[in-house]
Amino acid sequence: MKLLNVAALITATTLSLPSFAAEQRAWVGDPVNGEKLYKKQCVDTGNVNGPDWCQLPITDSEHMTELRNERLYQQIKSRKGASDSIPKLSLLEIWDVIAYINTKHLALYDFFPDAGRYLCGEYTIDKYGLKRIKKAIGKKLSEKTAQVFTFFDMPNEQGNLTYVPPEPLLLDELKKKYKAGYLVFLPFVSNGYDGQIGIAMDAGGKITKLAVFDTDKKTAKLNRKLTQFEGQGKKGQKTPFKSRKDKKLAKAVFEGYLRAMETATMYDRDENERTWADE
């Protein structure tokens, strides 16, 4: 899909249909042409003479969704680190490359297609959360920090997903009653898969979607298995998830969920400090 409104595109966030198959996504730009351009800029150069942005971990959903399209556009446009032999990209070509890059990882829209605005921040689980996790899973958590994406269903902004920078006046508009939920990307190992999982929860901590990036039959099968856990969980969850067919998967999902839920709780603490006067 080619550009129609340049000004709108520069402020656009990652958009896609609610599907995890790359070929079914609707992107800003042409991902087919973008793949060819990416190859010329990054692969054919052996990353020796290519621009710095070629080093981006494009399969890392947490990093790339945090980066956002408009910032990725600026990085590609700057050509930092590129040799003179690397051809410059036009505005349309840059958005084609962005479209291709966005087919390589999960998108925020996959998890909260109706949200209007979202926040992004890094949070570290406090000692109380770590203690609760250890009690629930019987071991210490090795990694305590993660990005939390918090979504809001704003009036008259359905599906117009827009990032909100941490500015007081803009944050004041994000009332608790509008909060749709949270999304955390975490490492995940189960069923022969070793990568990232997206754990989406509503404002009460109930799982609304679990997914790994769908690249083949194996990941598609895993995503089907993950749907059995949707609707489970709540803040303060103590009871392990159960699965009659796959106990190892249930254990892996439960551990990931606890970390995601406790990290989202750290966002809630900051939100409460910001909104106490509203209540």
What is the tens place of the pLDDT at every residue in 18-45?
Answer: 333 333 344 579 999 999 999 999 988 7
Query: What is the distance between the alpha carbons of residues 186 and 38, in angstroms, rounded to a whole number?
Result: 27
> For every residue of 34-56, which 3-state class applies, written as one string?
HHHHHHHHHHCCCCCCCCHHHHC
The beta strand positions in the chain, using DSSP E, are: 117-124, 145-152, 162-163, 179-190, 193-202, 207-211
What pLDDT does 20 receive?
Answer: 33
In this predicted structure, the answer to whether residue 13 has a pLDDT above a threshold of 70 is no
Q: Is residue 74 within 8 Å of 91, Cβ to Cβ?
A: no
Share of the chain above pLDDT 90, in %: 78
In this predicted structure, the answer to whether residue 171 has a pLDDT above a threshold of 80 is yes
What pLDDT does 15 receive?
Answer: 35
For the chain, the maximum distance between any two Cα atoms, rounded to a whole number of angstroms, is 59
- The one-letter code for the residue type at 80 is K
- For 55, half-sphere exposure in the C-beta direction (CA atoms, 13 angstrom radius) is 10
pLDDT tens digits, one per residue of 129-165: 999 999 999 999 989 999 999 999 999 999 989 999 9
In this predicted structure, the answer to whether residue 217 has a pLDDT above a threshold of 80 is yes
Q: What is the mean pLDDT of residues 71-96?
A: 93
Q: What is the mean pLDDT of residues 73-95?
A: 93
pLDDT band at 277 (very low <50, low <70, confident <90, very high): low
Query: What is the distance between the alpha carbons of residues 6 and 126, in angstroms, rounded to a whole number?
Result: 43
What pLDDT does 28 receive?
Answer: 75
Q: Report which of residues 136 and 48 the model is more confident about.
A: 136
What pLDDT does 48 receive?
Answer: 66
Among 42-46, 106-110, 126-130, 258-262, the least confident range: 42-46
Residue 162: both structure tokens together: 């827009």
Q: What is the mean pLDDT of residues 220-224?
A: 96
Cβ neighbours of 128 (radius 10 Å): 10
Q: What is the mean pLDDT of residues 212-223?
A: 95
Cβ neighbours of 169 (radius 10 Å): 6
Q: Which of 164, 125, 7 is nearest to 73 (CA)?
A: 7
Q: Report which of residues 244 and 110 the model is more confident about.
A: 110
pLDDT band at 275 (very low <50, low <70, confident <90, very high): confident
DSSP 205: S
Sheet holding 207-211, edge to edge: 162-163, 117-124, 145-152, 179-190, 193-202, 207-211
